Structures are given as structure tokens and as C-alpha cells.
Amino acid sequence: MSKSIELQILRKIKKAKRGSLFFVENFITIATAKTVNKALERLVKSGELERLTKGIYYCPATSDLIGKLTPSLEAVAVAIAKRDKARIVPTGAYALNRLGLSTQVPMNVVFLTDGSARKIKIGKRSILFKKASPKNVASVGEISGLVIQALKEIGKEKVLDSEIKHIQELLKKEKATRLEHDIRLAPAWIREIMLPILKQLDNGKE
């Protein structure tokens, strides 16, 4: 019976794209959580799966240059948010790095969430989910949401003209409807940085 369950799980894994992440919850239609857990551990031992951290598995994609590829922390965070039906927003040093405002790749990435607060360790790095108010995770634009969090991290008194210019250039790639939505969520001083770009995008439609 357990071998049959293992084969059903493996069949489902094989259908997924290489690099996909898996949780016990992905297979609870096949067997109980306890049985699935044991089957996943057996698949790790047989080399069919890799265990990223407790309760998170992946089927590694490969590169000709570096061999097996480990999922990025962001990919893990997005997969957890999807599983938990939660919204997340990158923040802090990670938001700065994503926007090219910092070359430093943080060892620990922080996301605001309307889901559960928790910390997940993956090797020497970690993902921290910080509970936030609905307003703080309500942004809909990938660029504009990052911009709000990055500017909050820098601070009103410390933001440089060159950083504002860089941010405004990035915002031109955002959809006007999403930018308009997210501007309403931003503090007044950040709105002043974002509004000129919205006006440019709106004028471009005319």
C-alpha cells in the first residue's frame, strides 16, 4: 500500500516543472499527512526529491554550469504564501536589492504578510514573515509595491536625488492602474515621488 502511495506522489511530482516546490499539503488527496511525510522522506533517500528544509521539498532543476539549482528564497516565500492563501510584500534590504538600490544580497529576507508570522531557516539563510495590517500588504504593482517598501527603508531624510531618479525610471514600467492603486497606500512623502510618473503614464494614454 505504501509503495502505491509513493508511486502516486512521484507521478504527481514528475508532472510538475523542474524546480517546483512541494509541501505535504500538495498530496493530502492521496493519503494522510503522516503517510505522505514518510513517502516524501523515502523519495528524498532514493534521490527523486530534495529536502529544502522541514516540510518543504523540491525537484531540482539543473544548470550545465553549476549543476543542481536550489530554489530562491523568494520562490520559497511565494510558494508558502500561495499555500496559505496569504499576501506578501518584500521589504527592507531585500526590496532595495530587488530595485537595484543596493548590491548587497541579504542573508535574511523579510516579507510583510497578512498570514501567519514565522521564521523559516534554509541553510544559513532565513525568510521572516512579519504580520502586517491589510493596508501594508494591499499593493498590487510588483514595482510600485517594492518602491514603497524600499523608500520606507531608506527614510524621507536620507533618500538621495539619484535614488529618486532611479526609482522614477523603474516606475515607468509599472501599469498605470496598479501605480494609481498603490499611490493611495503610500505615505505622503512617497506619493510625491510616485505621482509625477503616474501623470506621465496617464498623459501617454491620451
**What is the residue range of 192's domain?**
73-201
Total domain count for the chain?
A: 2
Is 103 found in the same domain as 44? Answer: no
Tell me what pLDDT residue 206 has.
47
Do residue 105 and residue 127 come from a single domain?
yes
Secondary structure letter of residue 26 according to DSSP = G
pLDDT in tens, 86-125: 999 999 999 999 999 999 989 999 999 999 999 999 999 9
Residue that is written with C-alpha cell 531557516 in the block: 121
> Is the confidence at residue 82, as pLDDT, over 70?
yes
Tens-place pLDDT, residues 189-204: 999 999 999 999 988 6
Within this chain, do residues 48 and 91 fall inside the same structural domain, yes or no? no
Contact 28, 41 (CB under 8 A): no
Residues 34 and 81 in one domain: no
Neighbours of 28 (CB within 10 A): 12
Examine residue 37 and state whether it is found in any structural domain, yes or no. Answer: yes
Tell me the per-residue pLDDT of 30-65, one tens digit each, with 9 for 90 and over.
999 999 999 999 999 999 999 999 999 999 888 888
Contacts of 108 (CB under 8 A, 6+ apart): 125, 126, 127, 128
Tell me if 68 is assigned to some domain: no
Residue 140 has pLDDT above 80, yes or no: yes
CB atoms within 10 A of CB 102: 16
Q: What is d(CA 81, CA 66) in angstroms, rounded to the nearest whole number?
A: 28
The Cα 35–Cα 58 span in angstroms is 18
Rounded distance between C-alpha atoms, residue 38 and residue 206, angstroms: 60
Sheet holding 125-131, edge to edge: 88-91, 108-113, 125-131, 118-122
